[in-house]
Amino acid sequence: MFKNTMKTAVLLAGLGGLIVGIASLLGGGSSGAVMFGLVIALVMVGGSYWFSDSLALKAARAQIITEADNPRFYGLVRDLAVRANLPMPTVAISPSDQPNAFATGRGPNKAVVCATSGLLESLTKEELEGVMAHELMHVRNRDILIGSVAAAIATAISAIAQMAMFATMFAGGGSDDEDRPNPLAILLVSMLAPLAAGLIQMAISRSREYEADRSAAELLGTGEPLALALEKIEVLATQRPMMVPPAQAQAYIHNPLSEMHHKRRTGVDVGRLFSTHPNTADRIARLRAMTF
């Protein structure tokens, strides 16, 4: 737990340092652009965070259920919430055939957990417990908030970088001003900073997935149910496509939009750096290596 928490803190600090570095490069005269980029990011991501539950449910075409609608699933979530010392979340089911699940909401008191119909039909009770324990750990660990903070900083970096690039391309005169930042340096940073921010944001997402796996295994006293569930999901997801907006895909226990990994001839999976989710085989191996 400490290792993943520290990794997340370091990555968030890296994002913060990146935006400070960009601001320093642009110089004091461009502080207005920096603030404008921050405002844009806070409005965009803040709105998404505040309405995260309704946006995610709409994207998944999910319906909120009561215990009368599905006693088995609702009761399973309720029992896990009690064990995790969490308020009872809103429970929903998406009609997708792909076995998958996600958690969303502004915090433990406003949480939503959702499973697809494919998940409910494909997994045993123990495997389903593993998946839903994982989702409830996202709620307990406030990963939706952490992801939103990372997204806000990354969005701000991209907005600031774009404004800096356009300002440099269309600025006239003043090229001999010694105090003016090097235009080539600004253009280079404007292109590389959003990429770096995106990579850090994805690394944070992967770190939170590993931590939710670990927390779920700890709650259940074993990582085997979730490991078995991930094995099934990995196989069935490739056979049952699921279309969701890219912005929502990272919330799922298995990325519904990237079932196949593209590898170089060396066999190195370069796609992992650009993935919001850890490699499934790595997750399974970690779960099975855990002892409690």
Three-state DSSP at 21 gives helix
pLDDT at site 102 = 96
Task: Dump the DSSP string for 209-249.
Answer: HHHHHHHHHHHHT-SHHHHHHHHHHHHHHHHS-----HHHH
Contact 175, 38 (CB under 8 A): no
Q: Where are the beta strands (DSSP E) in the chain?
A: 63-64, 90-94, 101-104, 112-116
pLDDT at site 37 = 59
Contact 197, 157 (CB under 8 A): yes
Please tell me which residue in 127, 129, 135, 209 is annotated as part of the active site: 135
Contact 287, 226 (CB under 8 A): yes
CA distance 170 to 166: 6
Please give the average pLDDT of every successive group of 10 residues along the chain, which has 292 residues.
62 66 56 60 68 88 97 98 97 97 92 97 98 97 86 76 69 54 73 83 91 97 98 93 85 80 44 82 96 82
Whole-model pTM?
Answer: 0.81
pLDDT at site 173 = 47
Show the tokens assigned to 119: 């998940």
pLDDT at site 278 = 94
Q: What is the DSSP letter of 271?
A: G
Is residue 135 part of the annotated active site? The answer reads yes
Q: At what angle do helices 183-220 and 125-140 cross, to 10 degrees?
A: 130
Three-state DSSP at 260 gives coil
pLDDT tens profile 198-222: 888 888 899 999 999 999 999 999 9
pLDDT tens profile 226-275: 999 999 999 999 888 888 888 788 899 999 986 544 444 444 455 676 78
